Amino acid sequence: MIEEIRISDLGVITRATLELDPGFTVVTGETGAGKTMVVTALGLLLGNRADAGAVRHGAKHAVAEATLRLPAGSPALSRAEESGALLEEHDGDTELILARILSAEGRSRAAVGGTSAPVGLLSELGTHLVAVHGQSDQLRLRSAVAQRESLDKFGGPELAAALAAYQGTFDTWKAASAELEEITSASRERVREAESLQAALEEIDAVDPRPGEDEDLKAEAQKLSNVEGLRSAAVTAHGALTGDEFSEEPNAVGLVDAAKRALEMVADDDPELRALGTRVNEIGILVADVTMELGSYLAALDGDGPGRLAEVEERRAALNQLIRKYAPTIDEVISWTETARRRHMDLQDDSGRVEALQAQLEGLQDRLAEQSKTLGDMRRAAALRLAARVSDELAALAMPDARFVVEVTDLDEPARHGGDHIAMLLQPHAGSAPRPLGKGASGGELSRVMLAIEVVLAETDPVPTFVFDEVDSGVGGKAAVEIGKRLAMLARHVQVIVVTHLPQVAAYAQRHIRVIKTSDAQAGDGAGFTASDVVRLDDADRVRELARMLAGQEHSDTAQAHAEELLEGARLALSGQAM
């Protein structure tokens, strides 16, 4: 719901704040006071086209802001978060701030959650947040998709289950059809692909690469290419440790052994030297191990001759050939081979797969036709119920001859949403042909049509907030009372904001906001000054405002008595005593 709307320098409104609550809020005021600026501000926040002429004369820019409180899981919150909006949680709900700035030069900027955003994002969020029904702007249920989705939700859980079952079958049928089309329309290409994969697999299998083999051979080749340097280093190290057989030069093994024996002789005389002797003994063991490993290394090195290097390079060349053709490394070549082998098997099985797919499609088409008929029958039944209930509402809204029609016709081809086309139509007068919404009614009539639809759909397909501008245009008396009742009924499920000039409608609101215009013809160097403010009325002020709306005399005792009577009648009606 919308918690607050802030407007500055928009039309005749210099600065105003509308604090809103759940339920039914009415906005009234004298003609020209700026009531419709509330709707204009909301339109800007919902991404409507900006008009520089709406900026207050003399101001640099106009600003419209709204603070909304939305429950967890709202699709609008998810979309806002994706765009980088900053969100704040309060008592389990989340606060979202929308803003639109319109310059006097015609430029427009938008912000969502304190972050700059394209105006298109406001439009996208608006579909989940607010439904506006104005004299020239009926946003909700404009598209065929929205009309179909509303009918499906009205149809209830059984229709939803039938739609889900149909869509599951449709998705499977679509995938099988696409696969069969690919196999049959690209048979030559698939044969060529199979032959190419066969040749590649034979080449790779002939080489039979092992994981990591290219890196292992690279290291071995580097070793064999430097064998003389490696041998020289190993011989030198071995000689330094063991000494030459015919040389009297000192060596590491002999020196360590001499140190060990010297310390062993006095080990019993000094614990410190005994400990050092133990460590020297460990060094002797380590030196002996290294000496032995160097000997083994030299023996193996002598066995690797030029012939082994040639074998390694030949093998590396074979592996590099695969790498150049199929993947950057041998491990990736092996991975590619596994994928290619599976694909080759699929291509080899084309004839059997075609037969299986054709059989599967026959079964799916029969099931799809059956489920489509079931879904269509349920939609037609729901359409009749919806049309009857909306038509009853229209009769109570001073449109007794109007008839609401929900037309369900067959599509030429099945679609994912079913085999039906849904169209909501209005027959405004007896004998006239039903026409699409918006083409057979005036702005005021269309607002009443949308009110009737929203009242019926409120329990199954609501958005958080509904805004009606002059929904009561062209009506009065009992019809106006019925409009007020139905707005109050709608407000049981959602937040409702109504701009009206009828006291009968205003009496049913839970909260009353008045737009007040002030002017001074001499201000501004004789150019004059007009401004509007917004005030929230208490009970006494509300009586005076209704008296003004009834008779133009807000201080008249008779008018005030009539206003109090209206309010009391509305209270009784809402409490069920006069419904």
Q: How far apart are CA 571 and CA 122, in angstroms?
A: 37
Q: How far apart are CA 286 and CA 395, in angstroms?
A: 105
The upper half-sphere exposure of residue 482, i.e. CA atoms within 13 Å in the direction of its Cβ, equals: 17
Q: Which among 29, 42, 134, 32 is positioned nearest to 469, based on CA atoms?
A: 134
* Residue listed under structure tokens 């900053």: 86
Greatest extent of the chain over all pairs of C-alpha atoms, in Å: 138
pLDDT interval class at 482 (50, 70, 90): confident
Contacts by 407-415 with C-beta closer than 8 Å and gap 24+? 407/383, 407/434, 408/376, 408/379, 408/380, 408/383, 410/376, 414/170, 414/368, 414/372
pLDDT averaged over every residue in the chain: 83
529-536/511-520 β-pairing: antiparallel
Is residue 551 predicted with pLDDT exceeding 70?
yes
Lowest mean pLDDT: which of 46-60, 234-248, 548-562? Answer: 234-248
Average pLDDT over residues 382-397: 91
pLDDT of residue 579: 43
Is residue 71 predicted with pLDDT exceeding 50?
yes
Four-residue CA torsion sign, 347, 351, 356, 360: positive
Q: E strands within 483-555? A: 495-499, 511-520, 529-536
Q: Which among 25, 69, 21, 11 is positioned nearest to 510, based on CA atoms?
A: 25
Read off the pLDDT of residues 78-102 as tens digits, 9 standing for 90 and up: 888 888 888 888 777 888 999 999 9
* Residue listed under structure tokens 């083994």: 296
Show Cβ contacts of residue 542 under 8 Å, excluding neighbours closer than 6 positions: 512, 563, 567
pLDDT interval class at 171 (50, 70, 90): very high
pLDDT of residue 372: 95
Q: Decide: helix, strand or coil at residue 133.
A: strand
Written as one letter, the residue type at 321 is Q
For residues 170 and 367, is the Cβ–Cβ distance under 8 A? no
The tokens for 424 are 């909501």
SS3 content of the chain, % helix, strand, coil (to 5): 55, 20, 25
pLDDT of residue 248: 65
Lowest mean pLDDT: which of 102-106, 382-386, 415-419, 574-578? Answer: 574-578
Average pLDDT over residues 393-417: 89
For residues 533 and 503, is the Cβ–Cβ distance under 8 A? no
What domains, with CATH codes, occur in the chain?
Answer: 2-140+464-536 (3.40.50.300), 213-328 (no CATH)
Q: Which among 427, 412, 418 is positioned nearest to 377, based on CA atoms?
A: 418
Q: Work out the burial of residue 243: count CB atoms within 10 Å of its CB; fewer than 13 is exposed, 13-18 middle, 19 or more buried.
A: middle
Read off the pLDDT of residues 424-453 as tens digits, 9 standing for 90 and up: 998 888 878 888 876 766 666 777 788 888
Q: Work out the burial of residue 281: count CB atoms within 10 Å of its CB; fewer than 13 is exposed, 13-18 middle, 19 or more buried.
A: middle
Is residue 528 predicted with pLDDT exceeding 60?
no
Q: How far apart are CA 90 and CA 317, in angstroms?
A: 68
Q: E strands within 373-489? A: 403-415, 418-427, 435-436, 465-469
Lowest mean pLDDT: which of 388-402, 452-466, 536-550, 556-570? Answer: 452-466
pLDDT interval class at 577 (50, 70, 90): very low
Average pLDDT over residues 549-570: 88
Q: How far apart are CA 510 and CA 491, in angstroms?
A: 9
The tokens for 356 are 């299986």
pLDDT interval class at 227 (50, 70, 90): low
Cα 104 to Cα 52, 311, 529: the distances in Å are: 5, 82, 18
For residues 459 and 493, is the Cβ–Cβ distance under 8 A? yes
Angle at 488 between CA 485 and CA 494, to 5 degrees: 150
Show Cβ contacts of residue 550 under 8 Å, excluding neighbours closer than 6 positions: 503, 559, 562, 563, 566
Is residue 209 predicted with pLDDT exceeding 70?
yes
Q: How far apart are CA 137 and CA 46, in angstroms?
A: 12
Read off the pLDDT of residues 331-364 as tens digits, 9 standing for 90 and up: 999 999 999 898 888 777 666 777 788 889 999 9
